[in-house]
Structure formats: structure tokens, C-alpha cells
A and B are shown apart, each in its own frame.
Chain A
Amino acid sequence: MNEVWIRRINGLQLFIVGIIILIPIYWMVGSSFKPPADVTAYPPKFIFEPTLANYHDLFSTTPFFRYLLNSIIVAGGSTLLGLALGMPAAFVVSWSRVNWPAVLVLAARMAPGMIFLLPWYMMFREVGLIGSHISMVLAYSVITLPIAIWVLLPFFDQVPRSILEAAQVDGCNTLRVLWRVAIPMVMPGIVVTTILCFVFSWNYFLFALILSNGETKTLIAASFNFIGEGATNWGTLMAAATMIALPPLVLAGLMQRWLVSGLVVGAVKG
């Protein structure tokens, strides 16, 4: 077998894998545009007249936009808090080569979320914060903080020490070295970190399921209700699924080159 044929066979296999990856995503998006009668048709309809009826249904019969706003508040807030706490921590870990804060945070990331959820439930109930945005932003920062620290670490590691030390000699205190020198140099890393924090916070289900109430329910927590309501209406269910998956998918499409490095960070180096 010569090289050309091997390359063709590889290309074919890659194409097939691509199709397998895309079919469920296509089915989700496709079904969301199907006329209600066609969604549950059997045999399944592959060709149909696209319609916005399901989206109209979703927006008019559920408080979709309130859920969306809650999702943005919780994912956005926890991203900001994770970065605010994680940036200085990652900087210090990178500079001082003292690893334990990062390891500690990672250990927290490995514990099942349920282990925190019961105590948080008690804690937040005690101070009257159950169902508040504040409690959810705090809870979701437990997701974003480890991502922030571990994704930013290698970026800070690449900043030449000489530059930081020079800034110190010039009379900058540690905070100023971080703010004026180190952060501008790791801007690409901060962009990647922000997106990863946002996506993983947006996607995380368990905490919102318990800590939110009717007013503060996020899209991801509401999706369970969509299933109950959507039992007879798959089109609306798939419209909801498409809307929830859209922000991560769009960010992934725009930033893929950068995200890949962030996603596999630490994995290859061990």
C-alpha cells in the first residue's frame, strides 16, 4: 500500500467519525426547526419545511428569557469571581513555585459536587440566601476557580522572571507587578480562561438544580422542566436544547485554536 492510499483511507475514516459526531447535533438543531407534526413522525422525516413554530412556542409558553438572564448572571458572575480570585493565586503559585494552593483547589475540583451541595444548602438556608443569585455565583465559582488557576498557570510560567524582577527593582510592589506587568503579558491566556470558565459554569447542572428557585432558575436547571412539559412536544424541547448549547458551540467555533491548548493543559505535561 502506498502513501496516497493510506492517506485516502485515513481521510475516509475521519469523515465517517465526523459524521457520527455531527448527526446528534444536526438532529437536535434540525428537529428544533421541524413543524410540530413532523418531529414525532415515524419513520423520521429527513426532509421538512423549516419553521420557527417551536421557538415561538418556547419563548411564549415558558419564561425563557428570565432563565436566560439568570444563566448569564450566574455564569458571568462566577467567571468574574473565579478570575478575580484565580489570577493572583496563579501568579503567586507560578512565581513562588509553592504548589499547594493549586493542588488544594484541584482536589476540591475532584470531589463530587454533591459533597458540598448538602452543606451549602444548610449554610445558605441559615443566612437566607437559598435561591439567590449570590449563592449560585458563589457555588459556581467552585467550578471556575480551579479552571482559572490551572489554565493560567502555564501562561504565567512563560513570563520571563527577569522582567518581573526588573519591575520589582524599579519599586513596584507585588500587586503592581501583577497588574501592570504580568497580566498584560498573559492576555491571550486570560481570554482562553474566561471562555473556559464561562462555558463550564454555563454547562454545570447539579448546583443550579438545588440552589435556584422559580425566580432564579437558570436555563440548564430549567431544562429538566422542559422535558416534563416537552414530553408531548419534542420540537420545543429541541429548540430549548439548541438555545442552551448555542453559546458554548459559538465560542468553541470562534476560539477553537486557543481553546484546545487550554482544554488539554496540564494533561500532556502530567
Chain B
Amino acid sequence: MRRGFLLLCAPAVLFTLVMIAFPFGYGFWMSLQKFDFTGAPQFIGSANYLRLMDDPRFWTGMRVTILLYVISLVSQLIIGTYLAVLLHSSKGLRNLVRTVIISPFIMPPVVVGMTWLVLLDPSIGAANYVLTKVGLPPSEWLASPQWVVPTIAMIDTWQWSPYIALIVLGGLQSLPVSVYEAAQIDGAPRRAVFWRITLPLLMPTIATAAILRSVDLLRFFDIIYITTQGGPGNASATLNIYGFRMGFEFFEFGYASALVITLSTVVLGSVLALTRLRNAVTW
């Protein structure tokens, strides 16, 4: 029996070792070297990490990453939960509604980026046309150093709020009916039922959704690479974008590895923190 298990698991474990564990170790080794296209790698210990701490572009990247993360996550959690409550009260997901809800996040982020690039063009995009029609000033959107991060957050929120809605809807559908019956007997007003009963009971599900999105948001890449490549200037250069450029445009493999490993630590730290938060709100 045990031998059978080992045999069945072996291919997946072998694959994980070759394609995930070994590269991870290799990446860590690279992060301790002076390693670029000029010559053989040379051990320099923690110098790459120390260089990171003094690199203003690293800290810009950190700021952009965190800003984008917070704006996106907060807006998607609020809109997603709102959408879930709406769907729940509309008695079930009909096929059409379900298809519409899935479509944004089943599309490649790259395609989503391409489409919004056209919609948000500062001079001839449809978004600015609508803005001027309703009497608002047009925006530079992705071309504005000030607005580029909120704009990217908006695009990501358009794409992923429906996903959060589906997760939260699953949570809503599994809430105990008895609590609601009790609230109804006590004559609790609708608003109070939502804020005092539904939302607290949903917190574990919302926290789970937050964890799933955090992993993707902290390594934000696709939409930025397609729309701005980190610009204007470095206004939307997340750590992942900066790491990519260091590695594959400047070929500083050692330094780029140190950067990406630091980013992974940030991701891991946030996931652990959010998991603790989820355990705290679990009932």
C-alpha cells in the first residue's frame, strides 16, 4: 500500500523538485553572487541585499506595490461583497448572470490591459469622451504619474471583483438559516441584520478572498507590463516589474534574484498575517 502511494506521488514530487525546489535554491544562490553577463559568478554574500536597501528605485517599487495592493484589495473586497449580497438576494445565479460574472476574470489580464489601453486613451479614448459629456474634466489616466496607480487598480478591480463576489456568495449560501430566523422573530431591521449578523459571519470568507487576491496583487505584472511598462517614469513600476527589468533588460541576474526573493518574503509575510487575521475572525 505505502509503496503504491509513493509510486503515484513520485512523478509530481519529482517534477516539483526539478522545476520548483531546485530553481528556488538556484535563485537563492544567485542572489548571493555578483552575477551578470560580464563574467563568471562571484560570491559576494549579502551585498545584493544591502544594495537593495540603498536603492531608491527599490523603495519606489515597494511604495508602488503597496499602494496598488491596498487600493485594489480594499475596492475589490467592498465591491465584491456588495455584488455577492446583490446576487444572493436575487435568488440564485441564473445562467446568463453567471456567464457575465465569470467573463472578466476568465479573460487573460493581458487582453484586459489591451482593451483598457484603448478605452482610456487620453486624447481619443471613450472614457474621456464620457467624462467630458457629463461635464467632468478629461483625465490622463495611465499617462498621468499621479493617476496611473489608481487607474491600474481600477482595471484590476473591474476584472477581479466578480471573483470575490463568487467566493463571498458561496459563503453567504452556507450561512446558518437559524440565525436569520431568530433575527426575524426578534424583528431586527434589515440594515442591522446585515451589519450585525451577515457581515461578521462572512468575515472568514472575505479574509480567504483577501488572501487569494493578495498573492496575485503583490506580484502585479501583466496589466502593467502591457499598458505602461512601469511608466510614466517609474510611477507604476512595481517590485515585480523592477525585478523583471533588472533581470531581463539589464541582465543583473544576482541583483534581480535578491529583489525577487525579497518580494517573495513580502508575499509570504502578508499571507501569514492575513491567515492569522482569518483565524481571529473565524467563528
Contacts and interface: CB of A to CB of B under 8 A. Distances in A.
Interface residues of A, number: 92
A252 B1 contact: no
Contacts of A108: 16, 20
B261 A223 contact: no
A85, A120, A226, most chain B CB atoms within 10 A: A85
Contacts of A17: 83, 86
B115 A101 contact: no
The majority secondary structure among interface residues of chain B is: helix
Nearest to B218: A112
Contacts of B253: 118, 122
Contact of A42 (B123, B204, B208, B222): B123
Interface string A25-51: 101100100000000111110000000
A21 B101 contact: yes
Contacts of B15: 85, 141, 145
A120 B243 CA distance: 15
A268 B129 contact: no
Interface string A255-266: 011011001100
Contact of A113 (B114, B208, B219): B219
A80 interface: no
Given A43-B129, A142-B19, A227-B114, A118 B260 contact: yes
Interface stretch (A57-65, A185-193, A203-211): A203-211
B257 A268 contact: no
A114 B12 contact: no
Contact of A11 (B90, B119, B268): B90
A173 B117 CA distance: 56
A114 B114 contact: no
Contacts of A232: none
Given A223-B114, A245-B107, A264-B167, A174 B12 contact: no
Given A122-B26, A234-B118, A252-B102, A175 B108 contact: no
A270 B204 contact: yes
A58 to B, nearest CB: 13
Interface of B: 1, 4-5, 7-9, 11-13, 15-16, 19-20, 22-24, 26-27, 30, 83, 86-87, 89-90, 93, 95, 97-104, 106-112, 114-119, 123-126, 129, 158, 162-163, 166-167, 170-171, 174, 204-205, 208-209, 212, 215, 218-219, 221-222, 225-226, 240, 243-244, 247-248, 253, 256-257, 260-261, 263-264, 267-268, 271, 278, 282
Given A11-B90, A141-B15, A205-B108, 5 more contacts: A85-B12, A92-B9, A101-B13, A108-B20, A268-B208
Interface of A: 6-7, 10-11, 13-14, 17-18, 20-22, 24-25, 27-28, 31, 40-44, 84-86, 88-89, 91-92, 95-96, 101, 104-105, 108-123, 138-139, 141-142, 145, 149, 173-175, 178, 199, 202-203, 205-206, 209-210, 220, 223-224, 226-227, 234, 237-238, 240-241, 244-245, 248-249, 251-253, 256-257, 259-260, 263-264, 267-268, 270
